[in-house]
Structure formats: C-alpha cells, structure tokens
RNA sequence: GGCGAGGUAGCUCAGUUGGUUAGAGCAUACGGUUCAUACCCGUAGUGUCGCGAGUUCGAAUCUCGCCCUCGCUACCA
C-alpha cells in the first residue's frame, strides 16, 4: 500500500519548551531546519518541516499560576509567541504541533498502550523512597539517613504505583544499530558520546508521574500522567497521523531530527529510538546535534550576559544599517548560519555579527550586485547582451562551488556551505578588477570589437554568478534572493526556481535589469554599547532568562521539578535550626575531589569541628583561613569521602557559584544567628 | 578523580590516510584602482603548530609523559 506513496522528506526541529520567548539559540536550530527544508524543496523533493511546542511539563502549571492565568491560556500565549517569532524569521514550516493538541495526546496514549500490550511497559508498586529533586525512586539499600546515597539528595517515603519502560532491553540493539549505520548519529564525536553512554548500560525508566491536573493521562489509569519527555518525542510521529491515518508512512520515518546537543544523548539518540524499536517502527534516518552559542567565552548565564532575542536583533540590524526589516531578518539568518561552527560550541557576539554583516553582505555580495547592475545600466542601458562563449574558468568555478555546497549541506556544515558560496562572490569581485570593464567599454566605444566582446562576456558572467549565488543563498535568505532576482530583471518568481537552474546560462539576453539599490547598506557604527546589548538580550524580565544556553531549554535530566508553592515554615520550625558564627582555623582540599574543602572551624569558645564544604572552586584554602562565617551547628553529621562533616556553611548561590556569608563586623565566635 | 573533546597568526578557525617555503577570513600597515555601498584589488607580515621526549629520511599530523581549557560524571547537606 504505502509503497506506492512517495516518501516526503521530513525534517523536525525540537519542540520548544514554553517557559520563555525564543532566543538566538532556538532560532538557530529552527532556521537551520528551515534552510534544509528550503534546499530540499529547491531540489524538487516533497518536503515537510515540523516544529512546535512542548507544553505538558507540570512546571507549566506553576508558571501559569505565577502569571495569574489558567495553564491553557498561559501555554496558548507562549505557543503564539513562538509561532509569531518563526513567522517573523521567515520559517516556512508545514506544521506546528503543540503537545496539548488531541492529535498528539491520542498518539501518545496509543503509543503507551501498545508498549504495554507488548510487555515493554510494566507497572510496579513502590513502597520506598523518592527524591523530589532527582525525580527518582530509591530502594532501601540506596538510602541512608534520609539521603539518597547516590545523589546525596533528601528522599521522602512514598507508596506509589508507577509505570516503567523497559529501556534496559535496548542497550544492545541500539549499539548494534549504531554500528551498522555509521551515519545515523552526527556529528561523529557526539555519536561516540552516545556509544559511551550506552556501554554503561541503560536502565529502565519510570515514565509516569502523579496526575496533578496537567499532562497526558495514562490510558486506563487517570491517577497518572505520562512523563513529559516520553510524551514529547512522540510528537514527531503523531504529526504523521500514526497510527490511524493510512498515509502516515508517506512521512515517517523522519529524514532528520535536528536538535541541540543537550537533548541528544539521552533522548533523541537513545530513548526515542528505543521506543520506536519496541513497537517495530522505523527509526529516523539521521539525528544531528549541533552545539551551543556561548557568551563571553563561557556559560553566558554566569557572566550575566545572555543571548539576544532574534527578532529584536534583526530589528537592530535594520536600524543600524538602514536595510529593510525583512532583509535584515534574512541577514540574521545568514549570520547565524555562517557564524555557528556546527560541531563545537561557538562564541556569539553582536559585534561579530555587525562586522560580518558589513564584510560578507554589504561589501562582498551587496556590492557585487550593485556594481554589476550599475555597469549594466551604464554600458548596456540595462539590457543583457548576447554572448558567444561564456568564460570557462568562471563556469567551472560555479560548478565546483555548487558541488561543494551540496557536499557540505549533506553533512549539515552550513557555515561551510556559505563559505563555498562566498568563494564565488569573492572571485567575481576580483574578476571585475582583472577585466576592468570600464576600460573595455572605452575601447569598445572607440570601435574595438574584441573589447566589446570581452565586455559582454565579463558583465554577463557577473550577472550569471549573481543569479546563481542568489539561488544558492535562497534557502538562507529567501527575501534577499528574491530582491536580487528582481534587480536582475528576472520576472520568474523565486518559488518556481529549482536546483537545475544553478547551471550556467539562465539569464537570457534581452532581459532588462532594474535600477540598482543597495540590499544591505553598510553599517557605520560597529561598536555596541552594553545598554543596547542588555536591551537586546533582556526584553523579558532577566529572571526567566537562563542562557548560555541552548536551544531548547530544560535541563534534560529533570524536565519537571516539583516546587511547593506554599512552603511556609513556622517560627518554631525555624528555631530548630541552630545557626552560629564560626571562624575558619584551617582549610585544605579533600584529595580526589574538585569541589570539596575540609575546614576546621571554631564554633564556640572551646569547640572546633570539621566541616566539608563544596566551595573549592570558588575559594582557595588560604583566603578562607581566619574568616568568620555562618554555620548550621545542629545539622546531622554526614560522611563524605570518609570524613565526617559536622555542619554546613551558609553561602549565597549566585548562578551556581558560592559566595560566603560573613558578619558585618567581627563578632565573638559562637554567636548565635537568628 | 573517571570518561570525552580540544590547545595552530592579534581574533575566529581550516589543516583528509605523516611529505616540498603551515593556510583562510577578520583585524593591522602600505600600495593600486574607480564600475560600485569610503567599495574592490594587490603586497606585507609576524606563528617555538600547548610543553618535553620518542618513532621516522621526514611529524601540526603517529607513540608516551606532562601542563592548560571546555563538557559529562562523582564528591558540594
């Protein structure tokens, strides 16, 4: 049946977690997928691009509560913001899936039921320990003194039935599959990470949580909802209409899942393929993971800097350069794809973008078009002349660039794709200089027919290259390409152009070019004040921004964290905590650890104690000795690395960095704090 | 500490299986040109290719050791 249906080229972005507006990280992923989709359409393939939003995390209800709106209204708003952003960035997606839609929830429930029928999902009752912060269950033997030994997190006693996916059964099949399909997971070095992860052995995964009124209920057990990650990945399949739409196989399997590196190893390269294997469904043909943008050479979030919001940045480019807003959007698409390394992480700065805007877009491409059109108008009244033979060198170069373009694109090296394209642009600017058409024009005017021929050959070469480059850049900059076509006098709409038009000679003699108009005006001011950066990066309250960051938010390991909204304690509870001022007498690193310091603290007139503290990355032993600090004196002692820690220091947590609290002035050691 | 990835020009990075004077772009300096968006073109560069040793006729490239950076992981009560 389905063999008769032509397979559509199917590309997916991750579905984005709706806890904030998109930034250039998520924009990069989405733009790159769009570029890929537009390229395949150019190749004449039926192509389907999917993006969407991930809305079932239980955190959503808390965020909604905070915002003071019902959860559904809350996610409607954010899903709308994503759609709007992608529209503004010229993303031509064929569909936008929301995990709160019936088509998704039905597919997820069906998927779950089928796994259960096949014995890959089993229920298990736990009377045991549960760590809220780990979202993990522990056995009695794994817990000591109310603490999970493995994670060191506190646990609570629960009795709960949950459902588990037999992920452990797929360690070997996945390893075998990776072995047999060397280009399945890309890039290579990330595939190796997956292999390393698998070799440690997969463990069964708890795939349900207590139903608190948000999420997809487990079929036949309304007391549970399906774990958000398990639910989310099914979107790729749900959109095909699986299982009831008979044509679902015209889309599935996806040709590419393109994701950020943080959701690659655990989810897109292991969990999701294992789920598909369990139901004997075909696996996606390729899964590609790109790196992140960094800010300030490190995790942007720590330095306080963050990634700009894409539409604001495009608007800024437009304001700075004077380019039309829609062309500035295309410029941004180009800049993101050109700057990103598509393997490792890449440093992102607005100033680099501005510089590259000038160099690549204004000076190289824009100016090539501009000078070409100008000369055409000047020497030929804008009418494309007849040419007997094209310049074979340029023709050959164009061909080789097209070949490199396709080769790089096939391995998702988008920066190389553009670099190859710009070889052609660069050669042409030099070519004009070598041929000096202005000299040829003069000679031709004086009756030199050879010069006249050379002039025609030169200018048509410029026009052809510009046309071909416009075509090559069209997946990246569709609006700009259309504008180039328009200036070249090509009336055929860009939508009807195909890859075969990259062959030489597409521009017909007699075509009349239009008046020149700079596409990307040069930017005069290349420096960017901090206040502008802040504005670009923090259109939202800085609080919700969390950035070096990737691409789709949520740390994969804990997509949901339960937080009690009403977590007041009584004054009596507080008074149970015995806080004291202490003085650090000695400090030394604990061997074989990176974070732990062993501190000897005087905490009373003749009372000293040993405290282990995880601040070695932020304080050297030397600078600690002699300092007064605040400590919790009656904390249950705990052994770490064989040393008993008798208390805990208080420190502010600044983006994960510890900053010690000290008294405002020297106080007697042992002073009570309250 | 364990695992993984890296350390190449001022900056961002290329350098396939070891082979002649180690590359590109940007930034810098000087020169040229004028069709063009103060644009384009040319020239000049500087590099102990992280450090040390080894294999080899020959190493940025292979081996070993060390140093440093980044990621994951354990220790952070």
State yes or no: pLDDT of A118 exceeds 90. Answer: yes
pLDDT confidence tier of residue A620, bands split at 50, 70 and 90 = confident
DSSP string, A213-254: SSSPEETTEEEEEE-HHHHHHTHHHHTTTTTTSTTGGGTPSP
Indicate if CB(A379) is under 7 A from strand B.
no
Positions 397-436 in A, CB within 7 angstroms of strand B: 426, 429-430, 432-433, 436
Nearest Cα to A477, choosing from A352, A355, A338, A348? A338
CA of A358 to C1' of B38 (A): 13
State how far the Cα of A373 lies from the Cα of A377, in Å rounded to an integer: 6
Indicate if CB(A522) is under 7 A from strand B.
yes
- Least confident residue range of A431-445, A590-604, A647-661: A647-661
Indicate if CB(A557) is under 7 A from strand B.
yes
Eight-state DSSP code of residue A611: E
State how far the Cα of A603 lies from the Cα of A664, in Å rounded to an integer: 17
> Region A420-428: what's the mean pLDDT?
95
Helix axes A449-473, A478-488, angle to 10 degrees: 160
State yes or no: pLDDT of A304 exceeds 50. Answer: no
Convert the pLDDT of each residue in A546-590 to its tens digit. Answer: 333 333 333 222 233 333 234 466 777 777 788 889 999 988 877
CA of A352 to C1' of B27 (A): 12
- Position A542 scores a pLDDT of 36
- Residue with the bigger pLDDT between A565 and A427: it is A427
**Closest-approach nucleotide to residue A431, Cα vs C1':** B41
- Position A624 scores a pLDDT of 85
* CA A244, A245, A249, A254 torsion-angle sign: negative
Would you give the end-to-end CA distance of chain A in angstroms? Answer: 75
State yes or no: pLDDT of A457 exceeds 90. Answer: yes
- Position A3 scores a pLDDT of 52
Positions 255-284 in A, CB within 7 angstroms of strand B: none
CA of A313 to C1' of B46 (A): 37
- Position A461 scores a pLDDT of 97
State yes or no: pLDDT of A149 exceeds 80. Answer: no
Residues of chain A with pLDDT > 90: what percent?
Answer: 53
- Least confident residue range of A92-106, A300-314, A450-464, A490-504: A300-314
| CB neighbour list of residue A323: distance below 8 Å, 6 or more residues apart | A317, A331, A519, A520, A521
State how far the Cα of A354 lies from the Cα of A316, in Å rounded to an integer: 10
DSSP string, A264-304: IIIIIIIIHHHHHHHTTPPPPSEEEEE--EEBTTB-HHHHT
- Assess whether the previous peptide bond of A243 is cis (omega < 30° from 0): yes
- Residue with the bigger pLDDT between A145 and A615: it is A615
Eight-state DSSP code of residue A306: -
State how far the Cα of A165 lies from the Cα of A120, in Å rounded to an integer: 6
- Position A386 scores a pLDDT of 92
State how far the Cα of A272 lies from the Cα of A235, in Å rounded to an integer: 11
Positions 122-181 in A, CB within 7 angstroms of strand B: 147, 150-154
pLDDT confidence tier of residue A298, bands split at 50, 70 and 90 = very low
Residues of chain A with pLDDT > 70: what percent?
Answer: 87
- Residue with the bigger pLDDT between A575 and A305: it is A575
Q: Are A278 and A33 in contact (CB under 8 A)?
A: no
Convert the pLDDT of each residue in A135-148 to its tens digit. Answer: 556 655 555 566 66
Task: Enter the tokens of residue A197.
Answer: 């992860």
- Residue with the bigger pLDDT between A674 and A398: it is A398
Indicate if CB(A660) is under 7 A from strand B.
no
CA of A344 to C1' of B57 (A): 38
**Closest-approach nucleotide to residue A378, Cα vs C1':** B35
- Position A71 scores a pLDDT of 92
- Residue with the bigger pLDDT between A180 and A537: it is A180
Q: Are A285 and A278 in contact (CB under 8 A)?
A: no
Convert the pLDDT of each residue in A311-363 to its tens digit. Answer: 999 999 999 999 999 999 999 999 999 988 877 778 888 888 999 999 999 99
Whether the predicted interface score ipTM is above 0.85: yes
| CB neighbour list of residue A61: distance below 8 Å, 6 or more residues apart | A71, A212, A213, A214
Continuous segment of H or E residues that includes residue A313: helix A310-321
Indicate if CB(A366) is under 7 A from strand B.
yes
State yes or no: pLDDT of A1 exceeds 60. Answer: no
Nearest Cα to A624, choosing from A671, A587, A664, A656? A587
CA of A452 to C1' of B6 (A): 56
Convert the pLDDT of each residue in A629-659 to its tens digit. Answer: 998 888 877 777 778 888 888 888 766 677 8
> Region A618-632: what's the mean pLDDT?
86
Name the closest residue (CA) to the C1' of nucleotide B33: A433
State how far the Cα of A412 lies from the Cα of A514, in Å rounded to an integer: 36
Convert the pLDDT of each residue in A7-59 to its tens digit. Answer: 899 999 999 988 777 888 889 999 999 999 999 999 999 999 999 999 998 77
Positions 286-345 in A, CB within 7 angstroms of strand B: 297-299, 341, 343-345
- Residue with the bigger pLDDT between A552 and A84: it is A84
What CA–CA distances, in Å, run from A338 to A150, A358, A360? 43, 13, 10
What is the C-alpha radius of gyration for chain A, rounded to an integer number of angstroms?
A: 31
3-state secondary structure of A207: coil
- Position A506 scores a pLDDT of 93
Beta-bridge partner residues of A660: A651
Instruction: Kindly report the number of other CB atoms within 10 A of residue A626's CB atom.
Output: 11
State how far the Cα of A552 lies from the Cα of A261, in Å rounded to an integer: 10
Task: Enter the tokens of residue A661.
Answer: 């609290």
| Average pLDDT of chain A, as a whole number | 85
Protein-proximal nucleotides of chain B (any atom < 7 Å from a CB): 1, 3-6, 12-14, 25-27, 32-42, 70-71, 73-77
- Residue with the bigger pLDDT between A113 and A540: it is A113
Q: How far is CA A102 from the centre of its chain?
A: 27
- Position A153 scores a pLDDT of 61
3-state secondary structure of A551: coil
Nearest Cα to A468, choosing from A403, A515, A521? A403
State yes or no: pLDDT of A87 exceeds 70. Answer: yes
- Least confident residue range of A169-173, A521-525, A654-658: A654-658
State yes or no: pLDDT of A455 exceeds 90. Answer: yes
State how far the Cα of A34 lies from the Cα of A248, in Å rounded to an integer: 22
Q: Are A366 and A520 in contact (CB under 8 A)?
A: yes
- Position A552 scores a pLDDT of 33
Convert the pLDDT of each residue in A463-479 to its tens digit. Answer: 999 999 999 999 999 99
Q: Are A48 and A199 in contact (CB under 8 A)?
A: no
Beta-bridge partner residues of A631: A580, A649
């Amino acid at each position: 049946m389905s063999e008769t249906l032509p397979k559509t080229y199917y590309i997916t972005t991750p579905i984005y977690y709706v806890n904030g507006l998109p930034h250039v990280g998520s924009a990069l992923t989405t733009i790159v997928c769009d570029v890929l989709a537009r390229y395949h359409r150019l190749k004449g393939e039926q192509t389907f691009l999917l993006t969407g939003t991930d809305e079932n995390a239980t955190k959503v209800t808390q965020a909604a509560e905070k915002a003071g709106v019902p959860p559904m209204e809350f996610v409607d708003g954010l899903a709308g913001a994503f759609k709007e952003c992608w529209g503004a960035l010229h993303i031509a997606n064929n569909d936008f899936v929301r995990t709160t839609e019936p088509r998704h929830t039905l597919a997820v429930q069906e998927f779950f039921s089928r796994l259960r029928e096949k014995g890959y999902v089993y229920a298990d009752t736990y009377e045991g320990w549960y760590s809220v912060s780990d979202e993990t269950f522990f056995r009695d033997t794994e817990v000591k003194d109310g603490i999970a030994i493995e994670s060191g997190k506190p646990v609570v006693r629960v009795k709960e039935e949950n459902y588990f996916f037999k992920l452990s059964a797929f360690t070997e099949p996945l390893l075998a599959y990776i072995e047999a399909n060397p280009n399945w997971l890309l890039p290579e070095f990330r595939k190796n990470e997956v292999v390393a992860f698998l070799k440690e052995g997969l463990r069964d995964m708890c795939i349900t949580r207590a139903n608190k009124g948000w999420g997809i209920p487990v079929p036949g057990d309304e007391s549970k909802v399906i774990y958000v990650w398990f639910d989310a990945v099914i979107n790729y399949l749900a959109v095909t209409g699986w299982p009831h739409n008979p044509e679902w196989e015209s889309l599935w399997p996806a040709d590419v899942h393109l994701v950020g590196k943080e959701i690659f190893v655990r989810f897109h390269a292991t969990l999701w393929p294992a789920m598909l294997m369990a139901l004997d469904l075909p696996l996606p043909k390729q899964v590609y993971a790109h790196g992140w943008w960094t800010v300030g050479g490190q995790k942007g979030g720590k330095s306080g800097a963050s990634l700009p919001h894409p539409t604001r940045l495009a608007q800024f480019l437009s304001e700075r350069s004077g380019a039309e807003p829609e062309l500035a959007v295309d410029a941004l698409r180009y800049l993101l794809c050109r700057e990103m390394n598509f393997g490792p992480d890449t440093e992102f700065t607005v100033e680099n973008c501005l510089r590259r805007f000038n160099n690549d877009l204004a000076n190289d491409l824009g100016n090539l078009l501009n000078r070409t059109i100008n000369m055409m108008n000047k020497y030929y009244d804008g009418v494309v002349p007849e040419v007997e033979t094209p310049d074979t060198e340029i023709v050959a170069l164009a061909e080789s660039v097209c070949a490199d373009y396709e080769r790089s694109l096939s391995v998702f090296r988008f920066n190389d794709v553009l670099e190859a394209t710009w070889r052609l642009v660069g050669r042409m600017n030099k070519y004009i200089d070598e041929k000096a058409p202005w000299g040829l024009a003069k000679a031709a005017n004086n009756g030199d027919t050879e010069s006249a021929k050379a002039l025609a050959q030169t200018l048509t070469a410029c026009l052809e290259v510009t046309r071909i480059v416009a075509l090559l850049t069209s997946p990246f900059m569709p609006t700009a390409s259309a504008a180039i076509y328009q200036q070249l006098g090509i009336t055929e709409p860009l939508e009807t152009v195909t890859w075969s038009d990259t062959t030489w000679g597409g521009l017909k003699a007699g075509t009349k070019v239009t008046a020149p108009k700079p596409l990307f005006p040069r930017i005069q001011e290349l420096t960017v004040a901090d206040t502008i950066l802040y504005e670009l990066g923090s259109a939202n309250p800085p609080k919700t921004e969390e950035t070096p960051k990737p691409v789709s938010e949520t740390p994969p390991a804990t997509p949901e964290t339960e937080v009690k909204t009403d977590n007041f304690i009584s004054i009596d509870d507080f008074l149970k905590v015995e806080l004291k001022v202490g003085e650090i007498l000695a400090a030394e690193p604990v061997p074989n650890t990176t974070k732990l310091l062993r501190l000897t603290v005087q905490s009373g007139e003749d009372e000293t104690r040993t405290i282990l503290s995880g601040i070695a990355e932020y304080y050297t032993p030397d600078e600690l000795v002699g300092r007064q600090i605040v400590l919790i004196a009656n904390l249950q002692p705990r052994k770490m690395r064989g040393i008993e820690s008798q208390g805990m220091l208080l420190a502010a947590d600044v983006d994960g960095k510890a900053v010690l609290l000290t008294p405002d002035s020297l106080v007697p050691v042992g002073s009570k704090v309250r």
